[in-house]
Amino acid sequence: YGMALAQAQHQVRQLADMLEAQGADVKYAIHPVAGRMPGHMNVLLAEADVPYDKLYEMDNINDDFKDTDLVVVIGANDVLNPAARDAEGTPIYGMPVLNVDEAKNIVICNYDLNPGYAGVPNPLYEMKDKVTLLLGDAKESLNKLMREANRVEEENSKKSGIDLDNILKTAKRAIIVPGYGMALAQAQHQVRQLADMLEAQGADVKYAIHPVAGRMPGHMNVLLAEADVPYDKLYEMDNINDDFKDTDLVVVIGANDVLNPAARDAEGTPIYGMPVLNVDEAKNIVICNYDLNPGYAGVPNPLYEMTEKVTLLLGDAKESLNKLIQKL
């Protein structure tokens, strides 16, 4: 119910997206009496476009908690209170609860440490060895978790030996490669903003447009026109492919198949023989994709393994672009 009070369902979805982008399998555990009416949680999560098949009723998920690395609780108390199993004489005694206490690590985003609606103290709050309490507004607590996830991602990038800050600030030739993921995230305005900032630092910025990027001919052109990107900065593949080898920085936004080097040698795959953008020839590459899954053709992309010059920013493309903009 605390998620409902804080209207934090969109932050919940955003956190889940970030965890998934890091390779986690994320599920939502729905207790039948969570909230103030049947289906209350389902409705709120639907507002945030959480897929219905990720919502699990208690009986279908309770056995999973013992094998779960992380449980994030948002404003729930009675429905996961272990006291329901043994606190005889209390209003919740005998009530089936979610087996949250069996998980390896638990983060609880609750407003305070007061008992839930039933007035029964929750032993979870005393399990210091595996429970982290984030008290106060649920939105702010979730934002803390996301900032921490970003910090870890930054540290991993530094460990790879790639100095992204320096690359962004010293690039003289840059190419932006938009794809269908930019359309899904409606991130064209952030793309234009990033390009403007690079140009303000003296970089020559071009946009590489693959003929089948997106879901229709001209899809990328239309979106970039919405963001007032000058038409003369858009280059068709044949007119820009030779430039990649002399390019300091390529920023990919939601493109995969159209720049997958496997198209050159992965015989028998749907993209074999398809002309692709020579992104892999650039000196440094930043890929802003939702996850590491193969593109529409289902062919793994070797770029994701080029750790010596590729920086992966996974999750929502707008968020990833905002990170780059903040660095500049």
User: In this predicted model, what pLDDT tens digit does every residue of 142-201 receive, in sequence order?
Assistant: 988 888 877 766 666 666 678 899 999 999 999 999 999 999 999 999 999 999 999 999
Q: What is the pTM of this model?
A: 0.62
Task: With H, G, I as helix, E, B as strand and everything else as coil, classify residue 214.
Answer: coil
Torsion-angle region of 159 (φ positive above 0: left; ψ -120 to 50: alpha; else: beta): alpha
CA 263 to chain centre: 27
CA distance 50 to 157: 29
Task: Please compute Rg for the chain using Cα positions.
Answer: 23
CA distance 8 to 10: 6
Give the pLDDT of residue 203.
Answer: 96
Give the pLDDT of residue 292.
Answer: 81
Give the pLDDT of residue 153.
Answer: 66
Q: How many CB atoms lie within 10 A of CB 88?
A: 7
Residue 166's Cβ-count burial label (10 Å; 0-12, 13-18, 19+) is: exposed
Active site residues: 257
Q: Say if residues 271 and 260 touch (Cβ distance below 8 Å).
A: yes
The residue whose two tokens read 């858009």 is 234
Q: Say if residues 205 and 248 touch (Cβ distance below 8 Å).
A: no
Regions of the chain where pLDDT drops below 50: none
Nearest to 251 by CA among 298, 203, 297, 294: 203
Task: With H, G, I as helix, E, B as strand and everything else as coil, classify residue 159.
Answer: helix
Give the pLDDT of residue 159.
Answer: 61
Furthest C-alpha separation in the chain: 77
Nearest to 84 by CA among 27, 124, 111: 124
Q: Could you give the residue ranges of the DSSP H alpha helices within 176-297?
A: 180-185, 188-200, 219-226, 237-240
